């Protein structure tokens, strides 16, 4: 991710100098900051935070905030689908897996959110 973040910095500096630096830094910091609390609480991996930071560095703060909102919706839908699958598979909402931590790859909703926002632009 670091090479892409540095490449984004060079591209934005080349295109807009100081304004490009601000665009890059605001996107990077917002992308990182939006998922930092869930990461620090153990609900998200560092890769998800780095992915959001990289997308933010490339596309800016406005874009990454939209991606964050759409990703939250996509993550909720993915979680509901997992719960429905688990219900059909195990036959109950509460069972031996009730006390276990379930890991859902959040990169999938982030990717879906990124493609959706990019497509809607």
Over residues 62-98, the pLDDT tens digits come to: 999 999 999 999 999 998 888 888 777 776 655 555 5
The reported pTM is 0.84
Provide the mean pLDDT of the chain. 89
Q: Residue 117: which residues within 8 A CB-CB, separation 6 or more?
A: 63, 66, 67, 70
Closest CA to 112 of 83, 81, 69, 80: 69
Over residues 41-68, the pLDDT tens digits come to: 988 889 999 999 999 999 999 999 999 9
pLDDT of residue 101: 63
Q: 99 or 20: whose pLDDT is higher? A: 20
Closest CA to 66 of 55, 76, 81, 77: 55
Closest CA to 82 of 96, 99, 102: 102
């Amino acid at each position: 991710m670091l090479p892409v973040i540095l490449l984004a910095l060079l591209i934005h500096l080349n295109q807009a100098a100081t304004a490009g630096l601000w665009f890059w830094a605001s996107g990077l910091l917002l992308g990182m900051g939006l998922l930092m609390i869930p990461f620090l609480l153990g609900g998200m991996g560092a890769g998800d935070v780095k992915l959001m930071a990289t997308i933010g560095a490339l596309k800016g703060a406005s874009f990454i905030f939209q991606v964050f909102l759409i990703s939250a919706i996509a993550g909720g839908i993915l979680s509901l689908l997992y719960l429905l699958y688990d219900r059909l598979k195990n036959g109950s909402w509460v069972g031996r897996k009730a006390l276990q931590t379930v890991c859902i790859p959040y990169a999938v909703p982030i990717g879906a959110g990124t493609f959706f926002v990019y497509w809607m632009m």
